[in-house]
Amino acid sequence: MPNTSAGRVHLMYMLLLADLTHVATYSWSSAVLACLYRALDHGIDYHQNNIGGCMLLLQCWAWEWIKTLSPIIEPLTPEDIATGHCFPLAK
C-alpha cells in the first residue's frame, strides 16, 4: 500500500504479517482499494503536494472505463498466446 512517505511502511501493516500462515486469508485487494480511495480523498487537499495509493490500479481502471485514455490494444491471436508474446493489460 504505497503512500507519499518515499517507500516507508506504516507499522500497522507489520502486525498483520506477524503470523505468516494467516496472510493468505486477508483480503489484500480490498485493503489496496481502500488505501487508494483514502489517498484520492487526501489528494484533493490543496496543501497536498503528491498522492499516494496504488496508481497502477487507478490507471487500469481509467483504461477500462474511460476509452479516450486507453491505449489501442490489438486482439490476440492463438499464436501469440501459444508463444507467450502476449502480456496483461497492466504490465
Distance CA 41, CA 33 (A): 12
HSE-up of 4 (CA within 13 Å, CB side)? 11
Question: Chain centroid to CA 70: how far?
Answer: 17
The per-residue pLDDT for range 10-59, each reduced to its tens digit, is: 777 778 888 888 888 888 778 778 888 877 776 666 776 677 777 777 88
In this prediction, residue 91 carries a pLDDT of: 46
Is the pLDDT at 62 greater than 80? The verdict is: yes
pTM metric for this prediction: 0.52
Q: From the CB of residue 45, how many other CB atoms can be counted at a distance below 10 Å?
A: 8
32: Cβ contacts below 8 Å, ≥ 6 apart: 1, 54, 57
Instruction: Give the containing element (helix H, strand E) for 4.
Output: none
